[in-house]
Amino acid sequence: MRSEQQAEQYALQIDGHFIKLMHTCAGVYIWEFVTTLDFEWEIYTGKRPWRWSFIVYVAARVLALICFTLSLVGFNLTRQFNCNFTAWFASSSASFLLVLRGVAIWGRDSRIVVLTGLFWLANLGQAAWSPALRTCAITRTDEYRWSIMINFIQDFVLLVVMIFGVLHKRNATHLWNMLYFQALFWILAAVMTELPSVAMGFKNINGESIQSVLEMLLIRVITSSRAYRDLFQYITGDQDSYSTRRGRQPQGMQAVQRSGRDMRVTVTKTIEFDVELRLGRGRRGDEENDYYTPGLTEEEQQIRTLELQMKQDLEI
């Protein structure tokens, strides 16, 4: 009798912690989602160029938002909803951003594409509606523990591929430093969030398992989206300068047209711009400098050339 009461108290304790953690994770993610919407708006309005990988970025963020929202609303629902489509598809989209980063760093090498693609497809997991909790819970823990282990191995391999690709292209550019520290932080975040999920899965504790899954989803989506966003903003540069270049009109001609009735028109305009001259045959892998910018020393020119080449490789 006492053991049953203790078990019931323990279950209620876990449920209470689970509800608090779910509200905390949802609040943190909603704040993250809202405060970074300006980046998406810049792309929707044409202030930044469109890239097809942006679809994966949006999918990861939106599906994670739906997942956390349904988790909160689920406490007041009596009808079940699809847990797999939200949590696991959001997690898979975030992992796919990692795949794209590794493929781009390795120059779209076909072997890396096949390797990372196979590991990404191996990401399996399942969650189902829990009538008792009226929300998603882990079912068939025997399968879950192995699926979460596969998920951890997959992310670890993808991160190793990425970090070796970054080290393989080591140079003195600011872009390389950013990629290197992003890779280190990505590995640290993956280990800190996914190892508890693996441990709880093998301990067969459903309440703690789903808690660790929530934390894993939160950290994975935020880390992946921030890394993608920072790199995208660095490659495309300042949004104001991009939109100015994209929408620049011949103001001098407009002045003449507006003043067509005048006999004399005086137009004074100062234009400041950077000039990049592309020389040589333009093949990737040539030993000569493909880019030349006036006013730079030889060392600065080499660094700028490396950075421009890396930007081209990373444009996915």
DSSP string, 209-224: HHHHHHHHHHHHHHHH
What local confidence, expressed as pLDDT, does residue 56 receive?
Answer: 92
pLDDT score for 22: 78
Joined together, the tokens standing for residue 40 give: 């998406």
| 2-240 has CATH 1.20.120 classification | no
Give the per-residue pLDDT at 18: 67
3-class DSSP state for residue 279?
coil
Other beta carbons within 10 angstroms of residue 91's beta carbon come to 24
List the beta bridge partners of residue 129: 136
Q: What is residue 76's predicted lDDT score, i.e. its pLDDT?
A: 58
Sign of torsion over alpha carbons 50, 51, 52, 58: negative
* Amino acid at site 238: D
Tokens for 265, please give them. Answer: 């028109």
If you average pLDDT over residues 61-87, what whole number do you get?
72
Question: CA dist 83 to 24, 63, 69, 128, Å?
Answer: 19, 11, 12, 6
pLDDT at 270 over 60: no
- Predicted confidence at residue 45, as pLDDT, reads 93
pLDDT tens string 243-263: 444 444 444 444 444 444 444
Q: How many residues does the chain have?
A: 316
Q: Residue 96 has which token pair?
A: 């796919």
| Stretch among 117-131, 151-165, 239-253 having the lowest mean pLDDT | 239-253
Distance CA 180, CA 178 (A): 5
Cβ neighbors of 80 (< 8 A, separation 6 or more) are 129
User: What's the chain's average pLDDT?
Assistant: 70
Q: Give pLDDT, residue 38.
A: 94
Is residue 238's pLDDT more than 80?
no
Per the structure block, which two tokens stand in for 116?
A: 């990372």
pLDDT average, residue stretch 262-291: 46
C-beta separation of 72 from 24 below 8 A? no
Quick check: 32 pLDDT over 70? yes
Looking at per-residue pLDDT, the higher value among 5 and 279 belongs to: 5
Q: Structural domain boundaries of the chain?
A: 2-240, 265-316
Over residues 12-27, the pLDDT tens digits come to 555 566 677 778 888 9
pLDDT of residue 253: 40
Most confident residue range from 58-67, 105-114, 134-143, 289-298: 58-67
108 Rama class: left (phi>0) / alpha (psi -120 to 50) / beta: left
Q: Which of 25-39, 65-79, 135-149, 273-287 has the lowest mean pLDDT?
A: 273-287
